[in-house]
Homo-oligomer: A and B are copies of this chain.
Amino acid sequence: MRRIAVDAMGTDSAPEPEVAGAIEAARAGYAEVLLVGPQDRLSRELSQRKALGLPIRIVHASETITMGDKATKAFRQRRDSSIRVTARLVNEGKADGMISAGNTGAVMTTAKIVLGGLEGVDRPAIAQVFPTSKGTAAVLLDVGANVDCKPHHLVEFAVMGHTYYHVIFGMERPRIGLLSIGQEDQKGNELTRGALPLLRQLPLNFIGNVEGRDLYNGRVEVIVCDGFIGNVALKISEGLIEAISSLLKEALSSTLSSKVGYVLARKAFQNFKKRVDYSEYGGAPLLGVKGVCIICHGGSNTNAIKNAIRVAAEFSNGKVNEKIERELAAASRFGY
């Protein structure tokens, strides 16, 4: 069984979701869990829950990094932070992967420095899974690790996205698109026009430029873009889903004069929210670092942590990193 190190102090309501998620993941047999954080507090949390006999171990870390901390400064000054101890467990081979819902910048910085980059990867990237209206999943990368990308970075993202999708979703040749503002080759900006010919040379299923709407219509499985664009895309989506949820609730309760209809519609609404709920996909992997690093949303609940542990174990089982290095070496023979 894989061992996954979990930063227990990352979420907004830490350590509850982490401890509960770890228990559920361990009970489901996803992995052996190393819970990283203050020993006393975590022992207390565990003993209050039915965790006896489960493969969960506490690893002490005396410090935490908060959302307000600057990533690089926090990394330098807090050598015993839960994020850093978690990464160290992976680097020392004591864990097969890590997850953290803490300060995203700090997790990225720590993972890049403590774990190091894969052979051939210039820029590790965060890959986010989106649900599509066809019921399939689409992966967008980078969603925030890298801004001001150069064309060859998008090539790395394509190879990493391809491999991740292949391993996690079992599709042999996922379709890969370049996020642009029109399907025609000449549409786009300096970056996309520079990346397009490089991407075409890859021995992958690259289908050319795609548009924003293709993220949700199932036309493509992997979409690559600069991290600034990807982050805006992610947050626009989150914002719109939030706005729609609240508008819809309002509209439903004001229209259905009898509350009967509301109760009937509620179940449908919950099903729908589950379909667009990112937590089902269990966090976003930082691709391109040595080892497995899954970054979760600060608002992650028990279910999200549980699923992130599952994804980390699958990632490790699937040997994603070995495959990325092999694919990148192959890609370099195609002129990249």
Q: Which residues of A contact B (CB under 8 A)?
A: 131-133, 144, 147-148, 179-181, 188-190, 211-217, 225-229, 231-244, 246-248, 251-252, 254-256, 258, 260-261, 264-265, 267-269, 271-272, 275-276
The 4 A-B pairs of least Cβ separation, nearest first, read: A212-B235, A213-B239, A261-B264, A212-B236
- Secondary structure type dominating chain A contacts: helix
Given the interface contacts A181-B231, A243-B217, does A189 sit within 8 Å of B248 by beta carbon? Answer: no
On chain B, the residues within 8 Å of A243 by CB distance are: 131-133, 216-217, 276
On chain B, the residues within 8 Å of A190 by CB distance are: 147-148
**How many copies of this chain does one complex carry?**
2
- Report the minimum CB–CB distance from A254 to chain B (whole Å): 8
Contact status A133-B247, CB under 8 Å:
yes
Query: CB < 8 Å: which of B181, B227, B248, B265 contacts A228?
Result: B181
Query: CB < 8 Å: which of B217, B246, B247 contacts A239?
Result: B217
On chain B, the residues within 8 Å of A252 by CB distance are: 265, 268
Contact status A240-B240, CB under 8 Å:
yes
On chain B, the residues within 8 Å of A265 by CB distance are: 252, 256, 261, 264-265, 268
Nearest-neighbor residue (CB-CB) of A225 within chain B? B232
On chain B, the residues within 8 Å of A269 by CB distance are: 248, 251
Query: CB < 8 Å: which of B133, B214, B234, B238 contacts A246?
Result: B133
Bound-state Cα–Cα, A212 to B229, Å: 10
On chain B, the residues within 8 Å of A237 by CB distance are: 212, 236, 240
Contact status B247-A234, CB under 8 Å:
no
